[in-house]
Amino acid sequence: MKSRFRKISFLIGGMVILGLVSEAKGFQIKVSEEIFADIYAQMRVFYLNRSEDKEYNYRWNQIQVYKTRFAVRGQINPLVQFYGMLDANENEGYKAKLWEAGIQFSFAPEFIVKVGELRVPFSRHNFVARHDSIVMSSDGNYFLPTQFKDALRAVDPYAGGYRETQPFKRTDFGTVIAGSIKEGLLKYYLGLFNNDRFPENKLWSLSGGFKKVNTLRNQKNKKGLEYDVRLEFTPIFLGFKSEDTVFDPSLRVRQTYLGKKDTMTLGIGYHQEKHLEYINSSVYGSSSLTRKAWAADFSVEKTWGKYIPGMEVGYMYFKDTHLYQTSSSTYKKGGAYTWYLDTHLIYNEKIGFGIPGIGFRYEYIKVDGNYQTKKDLSFERYGVCFSYYLYGAPNKIGVGFDTVKARDALKAYFKNKKYEDSTTTWYVGLYAQF
C-alpha cells in the first residue's frame, strides 16, 4: 500500500512540474519522460520619465534594460526537481548574479523538501512572480525615489532579490518543507534560513536618518537561524483551484492566470529572526533586537465570460526592527507595518495581436520614528498600468504611472532636507520571455 501511494505521489508531482515547465515557453531538453530541463530567457525594458529625487533636482528620463534573466527548470526524476536563475540587473551594474536556485525532493504531495536560495515563506508578496504582476511598478523598489528608500533602511516589506545586508529578505539561503493536503485545500510551508546580524541602519535619530547602533562587541553573523511559517487555504469545494506553489521548486504564484483557472487563496504567515545583539543597553535601554513579523493576505481571480477580474490584499506587521530616539537620552524599540491592494480586469479576447488589461496597486507603509514635532515615517504609493498581453502573462507591453506621497514625520524630514515629498513616475515597459 505504501509503495502504491508513493508511486501515485511521484506521478502527481511529476505531472504538476511538467505543467509548470510547459508554461515557461522556453526551449526544452528532454532526455526521457522523466528527465528534462526547460531553458528560457527573459528581458524587461523600460522608458522612465521620473520626478525629482535626492540625486536629481529636476524631472529626468531614461531608457534602460532593467533586467535580463537566463533560467533553467526541470527534473532528474519524479523525486528530484531543480531550478536556477542567473540575472543581470541595472541596479547591480549588470553583473551576472545567481538570483535564485534550488533542489526539490518530492517525497509526496504532503511532504516536499526544498534546499537552496529560496523564497521566504512569509507573505504572498514573497511568492509573486513580478514579471507577471499586473502593475509593472510593483516590481520591488525599482520605481521608488531614493529618499523614500532611505526610510526603509531598517526594514523593507517589499524587498527585491537577495542582498546580504538587506534587513529583511524576500529570498534567502535555507530549507523549506512544504505540503499540499486534500488537493490544495490546505497548504503549509516551514522555513529555516540563515541568520544575519548587522548594526547598520538600526537607529533613527531625532535629527533624521538611520544610523549605526553602538554595540559593545562585534556581531556574530550566521549565528542561529531565521524561522518562517506560512499556511494557505483554498476553498476547492467552491470550484476554485489551488495554486501550484508547493510543487513548484521556485515557489512562484501569479497575480493572473489569464483565464486558465479560477483561484482563491487565504494565507497567514509568521517570521522570527534575532538580527542585532550586544547593544549598549546603558545608552539605548535594550541589549538585543529580535524581529517578529505577522502577515495575512487574500487573493482571488475568477473568469466571467470574456472578463477576468482579480484582487489581492495583504497586511504585514514587523515588530522590533530598529530603535528610534524620542528625546536626547531616550530610545524605544520600533517596528513597521504595511498593507497593500492589487486589483485588475483583463478582457480575455484578442484585439489585434493580444489581449488588453488594466491594473491598480496601492501600498501604505508606516515605520516608527520621530522628527521635530511629528511622529511616524509613513508614505503611501499607488500606481495604474494598462497592459497588452502578446503571448501569455510574461510577454506584454505596459503603460502606466507610479505616485508616492510622504506623510507625517517623513514629510517634515523631506521638507527640511528640501527633498520632493510627492513624486510621480510615468513609464512604458516591454517584457519578453522566450
Strand 203-204 versus strand 307-327 pairing type: parallel
- 231 has a pLDDT exceeding 80: yes
Alpha helix stretches (DSSP H) within 195-310: 281-284
- Region at 207 (left for phi over 0; alpha for psi -120 to 50; beta for the rest): alpha
In tens, the pLDDT along 131-178 reads 888 999 987 788 899 999 999 999 999 987 777 888 899 999 999 999
pLDDT at 307: 97
| Secondary structure element (H or E) that encloses residue 11, with its range | helix 2-23
Cβ-contact 57, 71 below 8 angstroms:
no
How many structural domains does the chain have?
A: 1
Cβ-contact 367, 336 below 8 angstroms:
yes
Cβ-contact 117, 173 below 8 angstroms:
yes
In tens, the pLDDT along 193-202 reads 999 898 999 9
What is the C-alpha separation between 225 and 207, in angstroms, rounded?
34
Cβ-contact 397, 386 below 8 angstroms:
no
What's the one-letter identity of residue 417?
Answer: K
Which residue matches cell numbers 493572473?
A: 256
What is the C-alpha separation between 421 and 166, in angstroms, rounded?
24
- 233 has a pLDDT exceeding 60: yes
In tens, the pLDDT along 338-387 reads 999 999 999 999 999 999 999 999 999 999 999 988 999 999 999 999 99
In tens, the pLDDT along 391-423 reads 888 899 999 999 999 999 999 999 999 999 999
In tens, the pLDDT along 281-306 reads 999 999 999 999 999 999 999 999 99
User: Looking at per-residue confidence, does 285 or 220 come out higher?
Assistant: 285
Q: Which of 168, 422, 208 minimizes the C-alpha distance to 320?
A: 168
In tens, the pLDDT along 299-332 reads 999 999 999 999 999 999 999 999 999 998 899 9
In sequence order, the β-bridge partners of residue 113 are 105, 177
Cβ-contact 72, 37 below 8 angstroms:
yes
Lowest mean pLDDT segment, chosen from 6-10, 153-157, 184-188, 387-391: 6-10
What is the C-alpha separation between 115 and 228, in angstroms, rounded?
14
pTM: 0.90
Cβ-contact 271, 277 below 8 angstroms:
no
Average pLDDT over the chain reads 90
CATH (domain of 315)? 2.40.160.10
pLDDT at 83: 95
What is the C-alpha separation between 61 and 144, in angstroms, rounded?
14
State the pLDDT confidence band at 57, using cuts at 50, 70 and 90. Answer: confident
Give pairs for 309-312: CB < 8 Å, separation 24+: 309/343, 309/344, 309/345, 309/346, 310/134, 310/255, 310/256, 310/342, 310/343, 310/344, 310/345, 310/346, 311/341, 311/342, 311/343, 311/344, 312/124, 312/255, 312/340, 312/341, 312/342, 312/343
Cα dist from 11 to 15, 18, 83, whole Å = 6, 10, 19
- Region at 244 (left for phi over 0; alpha for psi -120 to 50; beta for the rest): alpha
Range of the domain at 235: 2-433
Share of the chain above pLDDT 70, in %: 94
The CA-CA-CA angle for residues 307, 308, 312, to 5°, reads 150
pLDDT at 54: 83
Cβ-contact 185, 178 below 8 angstroms:
no
Q: What contacts 208, CB < 8 A, 6 or more positions away? A: 371, 413, 416, 417
In tens, the pLDDT along 90-121 reads 877 888 888 899 999 999 999 999 999 999 99
User: On the CB side of 218, how many CA atoms lie within 13 Å of its CA?
Assistant: 3
Cell reading at 356: 488588453
What is the C-alpha separation between 126 and 226, in angstroms, rounded?
15
pLDDT at 60: 87
Classify the C-alpha dihedral 177-253-66-201 as positive or negative: negative
